[in-house]
Amino acid sequence: MGAVLHALKENRRYYLVVKILLLTGMRGQKIFALEKSDLLPDKGMLHIHQALEEVEKKHNKDRRFRLGDTKNEESERYAPAIQEVFACFKELEEIQVENGWRDNAYKKGNGSLAIIDRNGEIVDKRAFNRNLGLYLERRGFEKKLTLHMPRHCYTTYMKLLGADLENVEFSLGHTVDGVRGEYLADLTPDYVKLLLPKITEMAEQVRKEEAV
């Protein structure tokens, strides 16, 4: 992923979105459904409670995605997020404000969303995915990148760094032996915090890979 991030650096929006996905293990449909109130830097967490839902377009001007529920109950969770993740969101917001996207979002009733498109609308995940792939292709990358791949890389990094696998599974919204992450969090509220040092290690490793 380091090489991919290095290639994306000139397009800060692509770079920041992919970096957030990598450092959190989120799915693409979750990152574009986050609201600003879901970013909890003081607690080192993101509140994941909704996702993009694809709808049938009846007219060309219709939007392809709307906000909906998460894939299942297990997917609603608090995910660990280091301060670098919140720095990425901050830079994204600066880009959106500077280019007038945030003003457009308020006019469209989407002002609460953390990430919007240039028109202030909910991001079209398909279009973003396609354009991201084309951007990398023009820079000589033969292997296709999708918004889901950083999630797999997150899991791989965590395993290689020796993170507790149950904690990793809960952070991804998976069940472990039928136990939901939110129930475990009630019993051991530090489970999210236990992953933060490993994610910090991962971020340091990724930065080294970017520099190569």
Report the CATH number at residue 144: 1.10.443.10
Q: For the chain, state the CA radius of gyration.
A: 17
Sorting pLDDT into bands at 50, 70 and 90, what band is 59? low
Among 22-31, 73-82, 135-144, 154-163, the least confident range: 73-82
Average pLDDT over residues 54-82: 74
Please give the residue range of the domain that contains residue 150: 2-211
Q: Any alpha helices (H) in the chain, and if so which ranges?
A: 2-8, 12-24, 28-31, 83-98, 101-108, 125-138, 149-160, 165-171, 181-187, 191-211
Q: What is the pTM of this model?
A: 0.89
Under a CB-based contact definition with an 8 Å cutoff, are residues 198 and 162 in contact?
yes
Among 19-23, 56-60, 110-114, the least confident range: 56-60
Higher confidence at residue 58 or residue 48?
Answer: 48
The answer on pLDDT for 34 being more than 50 is: yes
Total count of domains within the chain: 1
Under a CB-based contact definition with an 8 Å cutoff, are residues 202 and 19 in contact?
no
